[in-house]
Amino acid sequence: MTDFNHSTNVQKNCINLNDIDINIYSAIQIKDNIKELYLNGLPEGLKIGLKSLDERFRLSLSSLCVLTGIPGRGKSEFCDFVISQFNKLYGYKTAIYSPENQPIGLHIAKIFSKLLSKEFKNTEIPEVEFERTLNYFTDNFYIMDYQKTKSLEEILETSQKLIDSKDIKILVLDSYNERLCFRILLNQ
């Protein structure tokens, strides 16, 4: 148990939080906002298009979603699925920085498969549909050259240019730690 006779000033101040000016919110301070949510419901977020997933998981614009997990367990595939679904359902364009998904042609083929819900084979996708999807992809997905884009600042600058010129709504960094590790190994 704490001996308050020998407590630091911080400990004493924490005991009487209401007596000091600190940068925290209390529920009463934002009561109107909470009441509005209570009366009108929570924001729903964007559906992905799978009922079982939509019941438990939704995303919203202007938010950060971080996927973590064991390497090789499908995080990139899931991310590609989500961006393809958001493109199909909402028309959202995406900028992608993905040193993990190489070669780039293979990455594009994987996203094609998700966009078309078909296996990426000439026996599954007629050439006319392939050409149409290639043009569609070109107008909706922008893959950054990870060998030329060297820093987070450059990624964000490129992303801002794409927001302004192409109206992208989603930025995927998959995964930036690859770039950091690469720079550390090269001592840059």
* Mean pLDDT of the region 167-184: 72
Which pLDDT score is estimated for 3? 57
pLDDT, one tens digit per residue, over 66-80 is: 888 888 889 999 999
Q: Where are the domains of the chain?
A: 4-40, 51-185
Lowest-confidence range among 86-95, 100-109, 126-135, 175-184?
175-184
Cα dihedral 48, 52, 54, 56 in deg (nearest 10): -140
Is pLDDT above 50 for 57?
A: yes
Q: Does the pTM of the predicted model rise above 0.85?
A: no
Structure tokens at 45: 């977020």
End-to-end Cα separation, the chain, in angstroms: 50
Topology annotation, domain 51-185? Rossmann fold (3.40.50)
Residue 122's identity, in one-letter code, is: N
Which pLDDT score is estimated for 187? 42
pLDDT confidence bin for 18, thresholds 50/70/90: low
